[in-house]
Structure 1
Amino acid sequence: MKDDTIQIDKATAADAPRLFEVWEASVRATHDFLSEEAIATLVPLVRELLGTFAPLYCLRDAAGAPYAFIGVADGNIEMLFVHPERRGGGAGRALAAFAIGTLGATRVDVNEQNGQAAGFYARMGFRQVGRSARDPFGHPYPILHLELA
């Protein structure tokens, strides 16, 4: 669903439960390499992160509920999630362009097994500059380190 009137808004503390729902739906749609146990392990970490990471920016539906969000710190896109029902409509592209153009993002890390994300960032102009065999939690999910070309 294409929307030419995409408006980026700062998320509020009240948005945290919906942001978590977006995260979980997105992860289940794109991170098929994660087991249920691995997702369950991430749940408390993500809930805490969504409650403390600031600022987060989001896109909202007609009712005002977030359906996509992004967080950037020190020039690094730390998170970008789009609800699966809204994928393909430009939300991720709009948020990434905002992160690059407005927030100064030049780097992002992606799971190597998440080919959709790696391809998305390649289309946005990012190139691989490194690789780690394990994720930041020490799990055997290789991470690709990307930088804006």
Structure 2
Amino acid sequence: MMLKTAWRLSFHTLPRERAGTGTGAAGRCGAGNRLPRRRAVLIVGQVDQKMIIRNYRTSDEAAVVDLWSRASKLAHPFIEGEGEGERARKLREVYLVEADNWVAEISGRVVGLLGLLGSEIGGLFVTPEEQGRGIGRTLVQHAVNLHGTVTLEVYEGNTRARRFYDRMGFTEQGRRIDEETGHVLITLRRLAT
């Protein structure tokens, strides 16, 4: 069943939190620094439910690691150990701490993850049972709304994601070999509209 979105977008500012208690680089301003971090929630109205795009919270870790693991194994079957072991440790200890992470939530359940490193989409994952329902598209649009032009890297062997990014207006900028896996990564960019 496809979600029919009404594309009613509204941003809500959540209470400001003390710097250093949030996730992502914007939340870590150094010891004793009390600079506020503005957080936003994007609500996308849908026919039967609402999808909320909000900042990742540490309490989301188990759900995010689970959805990332399942989505990664599906998207990258050509990578040995994908979605587990050292790669899962790196997600928990590095990417969920260092990136500006956003989650998509439907009915209180985390169904998508967007990890931003500045204007680069460092990771985009949607739980397998929710793929093809507009969640990834909404997360990409959220990144574009925040940064304008965005870039990302996708494995050459991830043909489903490559088709998705092509439909989203991304164009190829270059290729390189991923030192960690030995697989080809394609650099893509989407210009601000």
The two structures share one fold, judged by TM-score above 0.5: yes
Give the alignment of 1:100-139 within 5 angstroms: 100-133=144-177, 135=178, 137-139=179-181
In the TM superposition, what is the alpha-carbon distance from 1:39 to its structure 2 partner? 4.5
In the TM superposition, what is the alpha-carbon distance from 1:130 to its structure 2 partner? 0.3
Aligned length: 146
In the TM superposition, what is the alpha-carbon distance from 1:74 to its structure 2 partner? 2.1
1:77 aligns with 2:78: no
> Out of 132, 139, 150, which is 1:88 matched to?
132
In the TM superposition, what is the alpha-carbon distance from 1:53 to its structure 2 partner? 2.9
Identity %: 27
- Structure 1: give runs of 5+ residues left out of the alignment: none
- Structure 2: give runs of 5+ residues left out of the alignment: 6-44, 46-50
C-alpha distance in 2 between matches for 1:88 and 1:129: 26
Give the alignment's TM-score, normalised by structure 1.
Answer: 0.88
Where relative contact order (Cα < 8 A, 6+ residues apart) is larger, the structure is: 1
In the TM superposition, what is the alpha-carbon distance from 1:142 to its structure 2 partner? 0.8
Q: For the Cα contact (< 8 Å) 1:53–1:71, is it kept in 2?
A: no
SS in 1 for 2:88: helix
Q: CA 1:118–1:13 in 2, change beyond 3 Å: closer, same or farther?
A: same
More helix by proportion, 1 or 2?
A: 1
SS in 2 for 1:59: strand
More strand by proportion, 1 or 2?
A: 2
C-alpha distance in 2 between matches for 1:12 and 1:38: 20
1:19 aligns with 2:67: no
In the TM superposition, what is the alpha-carbon distance from 1:105 to its structure 2 partner? 4.6
Give the alignment's TM-score, normalised by structure 2.
Answer: 0.69
**Higher Cα radius of gyration:** 2
Q: For the Cα contact (< 8 Å) 1:11–1:58, is it kept in 2?
A: yes
